[in-house]
Amino acid sequence: MRRRFFLQTAMATSLLALAGCGTTPKAAIGPTPPRPIKRPKRIVQLGRTRIDNYAWLRDANWAQVSRDTSLLNPEIRAHLDAENAYADALLAPTQARQDFYARQMMALTGTGAAPLAVPDGDWEYYTYVRPGEDHPVHARRPRGGGAEQILLDEQERARGHAYYRLAEATHSPDHRFYLWAEDLEGGDRHRICVRNLETGGITTTPNADAYGYNGVIFSPCSRFVFWIWRDPLSRPTRVYRRPVTGGADVLVYAEKDPALFMSVGRTASNRYAFIHILGPDVDEVRLIPAKEPTAEPILMEPRQPGLHYRVEDWDGDLIILTDADGAVDGKLMRASPGQPGRAHWREWVAHQPGRHIMEIRAFRDHFVRLERVDAKPIVTVTDRAGKDSTIGFDEPAYALSLEKLQEHDGSLLRLIYQSPRQPRQWLEQDMASGQRRVLQAESAGPGFSPDKYEIVRLDAPAPDGALVPVTVLMRKGTKLDGSNPLLIYSYGAYGISSEAEFSIPALALVDQGWVYAIAHIRGGSERGRNWFLEGRRFQKKNSYTDFIAAAEHLIAKGYTRRQRVVAYGLSAGGLLMGGIANLRPDLWGGIIAQVPFVDMLNTMSDADHPLVPAFRPDWGDPLADPEAYDYILSISPYENVTAQAYPPTLATAGIRDDRVSYWEAAKWVAALREHTTGKAPILFRINMAAGHQSAAGLSDQYGQMALFWAFAEQALDWV
C-alpha cells in the first residue's frame, strides 16, 4: 500500500517546486510536502514578544480576497495550490474508497417517502428532493387537497453556480409571498429574494450583503421585510425594513457595538416582530408591535453584562426565559406588554439547577419548553391551568427538537426525534389529550434496520473528577477486544452541544467496522450552562482534557486501542483537534481538522476580525488583558507545536471563510511539518470557492465526508 504513495503526478511536482519546497530532512511518506519559507515577524504585545514565522500567509488584502479570490497574492496562491496538489497526490490511492463511501451515503439516504406537509392556515407547506438531485424543492398545496404549487426550486437556483447555499426560506403570514436568502459565493453574504405567489414574479436584491441566518423575516402584517445588513467586516450591524412589493429600505435599528450580533424574528402568536441583540454575556430585545410595523422598536430591558433573556408572548403576557438572579440553567418570568422591563418581571417557572431550559414555544392554549436533564433532552408542556406534562424517550442517547413551523392556534405539537441508530421521526403530540403518533419516519435505504446497531452512553472520568458523557454507535455484536478502529467527534465551544443525532456519514463508517463516538465535553451545554462555563475562557483546557479522557476511557473499556483512534472536529472543534494533538500525539491514529480555529492568539489579537469583538468574553482579550494573553498562549495550537511525532493529519479550509480564515490552517500545517519528528503525512486541502461551509448539495456534503473517512482509513495504515 505504501509504495503507491511515492507516485507523484507532474502537476504536483511543478506546483510544489513553484511554492519553493525544499527537500524534507526526514524520510517521509510520498512526495515532498510544501515547505513555505520562514519570514519571521516580531510581535510585541503587552510587554510580551513572540515570533510568527508564517504570518505572511495571511493576505494583507484578506477582506477583499474573501469577495474576489482573483485578488489573492500570487505567492500565497502558489503555496495553496501546492498544498492541494500534495494532498491530492497522497490521497489519490484512496479515491476508490472515497467513491465507495459517497455511494454508501447516497444509498443510505433513502428515497420514495412522501414529503411531510406542515399545515398553516389554508395551506400545507413541505419540501422534498427529486431523485438524483442535490437541492430541495419548496412547495405547498391547499389544505383540503389540490394541485401543488412550487414556491422555490433550489436545484434550479443552484444551476450554473459552483456554490449555492440557502440560509432562510419562509412564507408570509398572509400566504401571498415566499422569501429566501441565498449565498452564491460561499462568503455568507446573502441576496434576498421574494416571490409573489399570485403572479410568480421574483424580486431579487443582488448585493444586499444580508446576514442570512435568522436575519430575514416578513413583518407580522406581511407588508414588509425586515433584514440585517453586514458591514464590510462581515458584522451584522443594521436592521432595515423594506416593502414586500419593492421600494426603498428604511433603517430601523443600527448597532454600534462590534462585539454584538443581531437576529430578527416574530413571536409565535404573530403579535410582535423583534430585534434580538446578543453577545456571549448579554441580551437585549426590542419589540415591534404587529399593528405598528413602522413604529420605533420598544426596548424591553436594556443590556446588562451577565444578563441573558429571550421573549415569547402567551396568555396576554410576555414570557421571558432568563438567567437573572443566578438562574444559570434558566427560569421563566411573566411581564405585562405595557411594562416589559425587568423591574416588572414576575416568576412563573422557578429555576431548577441541572434542568436546562433551551427553547420555549407558545401555542394558543399551551406553552412548551425544550429542556435538557442529565445530558438528555425532554419536552415539558404547560396548559392554561398550570398543569405540566413531560415528553421523554428511553433510548440511551437521542436528539429531540421542535419543528420550526408550528400551527399556533392548534393543540398539536410537532417534534423531531432521532438517535444515532434511528433516522428522524416527525411526531405529533396532542397536547390536550396526550396522544402521540408518528407522522413520518425517514428511511435509510434498502436493508437498513436500527436493530443492527447498538447505542451506549458512557461517563468518562475527567482528571478533575467531572463525568464526561460519551455516546457510542457500533454494530450490534461488536467485540470489545481493543481491535476496532474508532472515530471520536466533538465540538465543545460556545455552549453548543454535540447532539446524539442520526448521521448517514457516521452510519456508513460504522458499517465498515468502525466504532463512532461523540464526546460531550465541557464547552458545550450537555450538562447545563455550567458545563459550558467550565470549558470557557480560563477553563478552556478542560475541553482538551475531557476529550482525551473520553478517548482513554473508550480504550480502557476495549472499544479500541491507542493509535486506532481518529479524532475529528470542525471550526472551534478544530481548536480542540490542535490542542489534543499537542497534548497527546501518541494517542491518535489520525486527526481530521475541518476549518480549524488553530491560530488562536493571533486571531484574538486582530481587532478588525469580524468575530473577535463578539467572542472576547469566551476566549479573553489578549490585546488588553495580560492574564488572557498568557492563558491563550498556553493553549493556542499554533504556538504550542513542539518537536514530537505528530499523527497523520488532514486540515481543510475555505478561501472565502471570514469566520476561520484560511491562513489559520495553512500556518498550523506549516508548523506541524517543521516540528514533527515522525514520518506521518500532514495534509492541507483548501477549497478555492467555498467559505466556512461546503455547498449545501448532498453530493458536496457526502463527498467531503467520504474524503474524511477514506483519510481515516489510510491514516491508520500510515501510523
Share of the chain above pLDDT 90, in %: 79
Residue 245 binned pLDDT confidence (cut-offs 50, 70, 90): confident
Q: Which residues pair with 124 in a beta bridge?
A: 119, 141
Whether residue 293 has pLDDT greater than 60: yes
User: Which residues in 297-317 are b (16+ Cβ under 10 Å) and which e?
Assistant: beebbebeeebbbbbbbbeeb
419 within domain boundaries: yes
pLDDT at 113: 58
Q: What is the mean pLDDT of residues 137-145?
A: 93
Instruction: Decide: helix, strand or coil at residue 309.
Output: strand
The answer as to whether 415 is a domain residue is yes
Active site (annotated) includes residue 692: yes
- CA dist list (Å): 654 to 120, 185, 280, 594, 685: 39, 11, 26, 10, 9
Q: What is the mean predicted confidence (pLDDT) over 284-308?
A: 96
How would residue 26 be classed by pLDDT, with cut points 50, 70 and 90? very low
What is the dihedral angle through the alpha carbons of 660, 662, 663, 668, rounded to the nearest 10 degrees?
80
692 confidence band (pLDDT: 50, 70, 90):
low
Give 133's pLDDT tier (boundaries 50, 70, 90). confident
Return the pLDDT at 636. Answer: 98
Average pLDDT over residues 257-262: 90
Residues 548/583, Cβ–Cβ less than 8 Å: yes
Q: Is residue 431 part of a domain?
A: yes
CA distance 167 to 212: 5
Specify the pLDDT at position 226. Answer: 96
Tell me which of 490, 543, 571, 605 is the catalytic residue.
571
Among candidate residues 657, 658, 661, 700, the one labeled active-site is: 657
Number of domains in the chain: 1
Going by pLDDT thresholds of 50, 70 and 90, the confidence category of residue 658 is confident
699 vs 347, 404, 444, 684, CA distance in Å?
Answer: 49, 25, 16, 21
C-alpha distances in Å from residue 248, one per residue of 205, 253, 518, 685, 691:
12, 15, 49, 43, 30
Query: What digits encode the pLDDT tens for the residues 361-382?
Result: 999 999 999 999 989 999 999 9
Q: What's the pLDDT band for 181 if we cut at 50, 70, 90?
A: very high
Average pLDDT, the chain: 92
Tell whether 392 is covered by a domain.
yes
- Report the pLDDT value the prediction gives residue 10, as an integer from 0 to 100: 33
DSSP 93: G
- For 392, the domain range is 354-442
Query: Does 304 reside within a domain?
Result: no
Q: Tens digits of per-residue pLDDT, 553-601?
A: 999 999 999 999 999 999 999 999 999 999 999 999 999 999 999 999 9
Residue 520 annotated in active site: no
Choice among 171, 190, 366, 692 that is catalytic? 692
Q: Of 198, 163, 203, give the one whose Cα is nearest residue 179.
A: 203
Q: Above pLDDT 70, what percent of the chain? A: 94
Q: Is residue 384 part of a domain?
A: yes
Distances (CA, A) of 632 to 49, 579, 604, 619, 627: 14, 11, 9, 8, 9
In a domain, 413, yes or no: yes
Instruction: Output the pTM of the full model.
Output: 0.88
| Alpha helix segments (H runs only) across 636-685 | 662-675
Whole-number pLDDT of residue 134: 84
Among 282, 344, 275, 351, which residue's Cα sits nearest to residue 311? 275
What does DSSP say about strands 422-430 and 436-441: parallel, antiparallel, or unpaired?
antiparallel
**pLDDT value at 443 more than 90:** no
Q: Is 658 a catalytic residue?
A: no
551, 565 contact by CB (below 8 A) = yes
| 394 located within any domain | yes
